[in-house]
Structure 1
Amino acid sequence: MVETSVKPIDEILDLFFLQGTLAIKTRVRLLVIPQSICCQPASLGGVMVLWQTIVRTASGRNSADENFSYDQSSYSRFISESGRKQHLNTSFLIGRNIGGGLMKQRKAIIAILVMVFLICIGSTMAAKIVQVSHNNIKAEVLPGEVGQYEISIKNGQDIDDTFYISVDDMRFALTLLPITDFTGGMKAKAGETVKSMMYLVPSDKLRIGEYNIRVVALSKKTNAVYSDILSIYVAPKPVEKVVIPDVTTTVSINPKIDPRIPLDIEVSVQNNNALDLGNVLVEAKSGLFSKQGTISLGSNGSDSISFKINLDKNQMPRTDLLVVSVSKDNRFIDFQQKDIEIMELKIPFNKGFSEENSFLKTKKTISIENNGNVKMTETIKEQMPFYRRWFTKSTPDYMTEKDSGKKYMTYAVTLEPKEKKQIIITTSYRMLLLFAVLAIIGIIIYYSSRSPLVVLKRAQIIQKKEGGISRLKIFLHIKNRTKHVFDDVRVVDKVQKIAKLIKEEEHIGTVKPNRVVQKKNEALIEWKIPKLEGGEERIIIYKVESRLSILGDFKLRKALVEYSKDNVRGKTYSNEFYVEM
């Protein structure tokens, strides 16, 4: 049933009457409208009677001299015409004398009655969007037994909702099966009807008799409360001597569960009286598994049963409730509850290594897997010398870390349960080989194309005049940098027109020019060296004098050296030299 409320008639009347109008209020109140008409939103008969009161009042009919009773046939015709197929019996009595003053104030009274009618009709039209009902399975119990009911919730809302079930009588213990309906609420989609088995355990101190218990369903989404009334009868023990089953159940289980290891549940049941129960059913249930088996309980006897349960090895951590019940012929005798928990498994990542080798290239693959049941982050280290890191790349990128004096490539890897990932490290020396080959080729080309003779030209200022350079000493340093002997070496240098060669006595270690050729803009000086041994060096020194003082810097041109080897002529040039003041 839908829980709601409507203001009593006195409160409604107080909204419309101020001081000085107490007489009107009193007269209207004399209509003696039963509170049940306005307090029951489904009382359509009360609303119809109230409507007839308004019509009678508006037409001026006095109810002081007549008693009006509700016409059942007229009401039934009204119900059939309006499409309503409900049959409600509601009687309504018009009060006694309203008095002649009511005629003068008829408009005010009609307005008030219309407002009351609208409020009542609004309550009447409120849809029963959520309905709680039950079906008795075992509503009569003996002391120590368990009552059993099927609870139904019809969710007429437009949204999915969860309903938490409780009872208002603390003398009865409540549980639901499946147990998740009790711990997490009964979940109903929009328009869906859901059912659950409810068990009521009366207190041992309850007297014999019938008890009306209110079952409450609390909406998680709207916080609205819906309820239903059920009855349970605690019956007296039969006159004849009847032995009620009395057993003690002991459950042995490790509450911390590793899902990788089979779960062992040991259930022992002791029969506490002389009643021979024979074969009884033992059932172990939780949100993760359900197992059952049969044991035999003789007079004052005992028996036990073991359940071995293989859980999903990838089961995520969670808490659960284990319910172990003992029943005979579908009647519960005893049950025990245990809190259990699937533990977090923080296991080091499982690592696998593989390596592929090819020409000057190595590819190493590290396969990583999280075998735990929680998300984890682990650092993977791979030792590698610094010189190898120059030729190494990896996917994903790595960081470097120093540990105990050694350098490591490190990877921070985060994996979900059962997630896999690979680290690929590739070391290749092929580029190094390419660079080496290119360098060798370059060296070969360089040595094969370079001149065997090296000529270095430099100059020294030996005299200045009038703030400028007047005399220079020029050095030509010639060296055979091979082991070969070169014949007929000819050295030619040029002297600009602005200067002239100074002829001096030949000094030891110098080479005397063979000839000097004067041209229009320059003079050519030529030296000849008949033979130049391997590794031999020669220094040619000569002096020039400027015709005018040279101010500032100037450049000396390159000197030419020609040589012969195996009747093949070759030549090379010296450097240019800049003379600076």
Structure 2
Amino acid sequence: MKIKFLLITLIFLISLNIASAGIELSEKNSQNQIQEGGSATFDLIVKNEDRRERDIFITFPYSSNWRVNVNPYLLRIPSKSIKEARVEIFSLNKDNLGTFDLILNIKSRDEVIKKDYVYKITVLPFTGDEVLAQLVLPERIDPRVGGDLKVKLENIRNEDFEDLEVIVESEDIFSEKRFLDLKIGEVTLEEFDLSFSENAEPRRYTVDVEVKRGNKVIGRDSSSFILAGFTDVVEKTSTEESLFTRRIVISKVNGGTEPKQEKITYETSNFKKYFTIFSRVPDDVREGEDGIIHEWNFILDSGGVFRVEIFTDYINIFWSFVIVILVIVFITQMKKKRVMITKRVLSVNKDKEGISGMKVLLHIKNRSRRPIQDIKVTDLLPMLIGTSPHSFGTLHPNLVKKTSIGNTRLTWNIGELHGGEERIISYVAKSRLSIIGKLILPSAVVSYKRGSRVIKSRSGKLTLLTAIKEEMS
């Protein structure tokens, strides 16, 4: 009877344990629709209703049409606890279109618990890009040097592509196409050289890339860049010179596409500035280290030319200089004494006490080419020195006169001298007393008329010493 009771108790406990064993399955974050060749994910929630800890395995039977990843595929769940597993589903067949029931197998390690979880998924025809295209290009491009355009292509489908047509266009300034193959998951980078004509307008341009499989566009992208304006200013200087003139042309030409603030500077010396003129009035004139700086400021538009002509003329100053020279020569000639007179002592008589007499020579000459009339010669002898009627050579003075201070004035009226003609006057002067020391003989004077003016020319003074030293001044 006791054995029977124990057997009944054991059977009761086993049945109670079996009745209480079990798990509850649910899902969250479900994604029940995917596109052809796409994937879906959801979280599988497993609740252990058993009274003890359970190791639960989650698997999916092999299929050539589907791949299912479960992470983690083994859940160790304490009693009355919940664990989650991330399930990823991939469609491997492009013909997988429609609604499908995917069955996950869930069982405990001891296989006491076995369950199937059905996940319903709908596969829609693929409508997006099958090739991911991405344009890579600079923001600004200088049209003079061009630029590099790159297209990154990635096959995001589960099939290989052959003879794909890649077309890159940028409005009416650039167009190029290529053909290539892309394997599953392959990423490639295609490079294109952008070049532009000289007439390309600086502005923003749109670039489009299309990837075609037959007539179907399976990838595309669009971007833009700025065809930058630029300035290309060239300065040119040309010079033309003659004996007395110089012409300089300074020009600046903007061969670029953008206007630019420019300036032209030219420096002249302080002397040269008086003889230089400009085709344009300078905007600024200031003193520099070596002279005067002239500056023109301007905005040079695309294709614009700014020109400054600088003309330096020395002809006027040359002729002015010639005229001044001629005037000076004329005045000099007018002031030049045409009749000259020189005076010298030919011999000196002396005795024991000093100078007692001398012979004086006056030389008169007409240096011009024209005759000169009314020529008068005057010589002056100092006090104590005189002459006698026998003291003169061929020319005797017309007048001999004592001055108020005792000097003797001798005057000869020569009359006329032809051009280049000379006259010599000589006389002997005697001293009343012997002169000791220094004796000064005054200058002789020749006078004549030029028009209404009386022109006088003087000889140098003579100094006689007791030592009979002659000195002409």
TM-score (ref. length: structure 1)? 0.38
Q: Higher relative CO (CA 8 A, sep ≥ 6), structure 1 or 2? A: 2
Q: Higher strand proportion, which one?
A: 2
Q: Higher helix proportion, which one?
A: 1
TM-score (ref. length: structure 2)? 0.45
